[in-house]
Amino acid sequence: MKKRIFSGMRPTGSLHIGHLSVLQNWVKLQDEYECFFGVVDWHALTTGYEDKLNLKELTKEMALDWLSVGLDPQKCAIFAQSQVKEHAELHLLLSMFTPISWLERVPTYKDQIQQLGSEGKDLHTYGFLGYPLLMAADILVYKAAVVPVGEDQIPHIEFCREIARRFNHLFDKVFPEPKELIGEVPLLPGVDGRKMSKSYNNAISLTASPDEIGFRVRQMVTDPQRIRKDDPGHPEVCVVYKFHKIYSPDVTTIEQECREGKIGCVACKKYLAENIDKVLAPCRERRQMWASEDKVEQVLAEGAEKARAVAGQTLDEVRKVMGF
Ligand code: TRP
């Protein structure tokens, strides 16, 4: 039997190449594991309850991004959290024995209240406090053994294990304790050197055309000490170089030519843009294939059905041991 995986992302708008390595990692996992990938639309509300989000659209957009990178609905279940109500029932049942102090102790909790508070969001809500518990329910409802996540999510997985342990101790041994799987995620800056983010307008979108890629790469900040083409360069301070390290197999040659002043920034950028396009072109092609509204809706409907079959079994067990 294949081990089971659950992972999810909040539908916060279309993805950029900073998200690519996470998704490529999921694509690799879909052969080896039984995978459930959820667009966690309820989670989007925990911080965005005032934002009038069009969650249906955002969810479809995210599913299409996933499909374009190569997630295959024949191999994994792709669905929206809100379409599998078992997540909500499990969240409710777990909440009955979850100490509030455990939730308040999750490291991101107070930080986020502060940070988003300064942006005008009041996160002193029941839903936001329960964010990690809803996440635990997402994972446990599939009895997932493995959860691929970024490093920032480790405290949430640890919390999930504590909830599993508490349930097993109070009722019966139903839940395995999940392990995080930390994928290698190279940190890519935006074209201006700050964190890559759609809201900074410094990102390369997964859907970027060759022209858009070229435009963004031309905006990348280079070594300020290089004025003429044959000045020796310092790749360590250059944004273009950071991208070459990921997208260009012959990065050592480029580095050397830069240091020796043999390749100018214009040529170096053109070459990078070509290499980024080699990765994004197949994504654009797959996107074309899936891009009809009906197809994505069908993927989400079938994914939810697969997910419900497993989640339903878990809930049967949970209800039974809890006395329902
Ligand atoms: N909290 C995760 C994030 O922000 C998203 C998420 C929700 C998740 N539920 C999950 C990730 C369950 C893994 C498993 O990235």
Write down the pLDDT at residue 49: 87
Write down the pLDDT at residue 295: 95
Write down the pLDDT at residue 119: 87
| Ligand 1 site residues, Cβ closer than 6 angstroms | 6-10, 40, 43, 135, 138-139, 147, 149, 153, 156
Write down the pLDDT at residue 69: 97
Rounded Cα gap, residues 80 and 39, in angstroms: 5
Query: Which residue CA neighbors atom 6 of ligand 1 most closely?
Result: 8
So what CATH class is 4-188+293-322?
alpha beta
Cα distances (Å, whole numbers) of residue 223 to 87, 217, 236:
50, 14, 8
Q: For a pocket test of ligand 1, which of 156, 159, 179 has the largest count of ligand atoms closer than 8 A to its C-beta?
A: 156
Which positions of the chain have pLDDT values less than 70?
A: none
Write down the pLDDT at residue 148: 97
H or E element in which residue 85 lies: none
Write down the pLDDT at residue 222: 94
**pTM reported for the whole predicted model:** 0.94
Query: Which residue CA neighbors atom 11 of ligand 1 most closely?
Result: 8
Which are the contacts of 87, defined by CB distance < 8 A and separation ≥ 6? 42, 81, 134, 137, 138, 141, 311
Q: Per-residue pLDDT tens for 109-158? A: 998 999 988 888 899 999 999 999 999 999 999 999 999 999 889 999 99
Every domain of the chain and the residues it spans: 4-188+293-322, 198-285
The answer to whether 4-188+293-322 and 198-285 have equal CATH topology is no
The CATH superfamily holding the domain 198-285 is Tyrosyl-Transfer RNA Synthetase (1.10.240.10)
How many CB atoms lie under 10 A from the CB of residue 246? 16
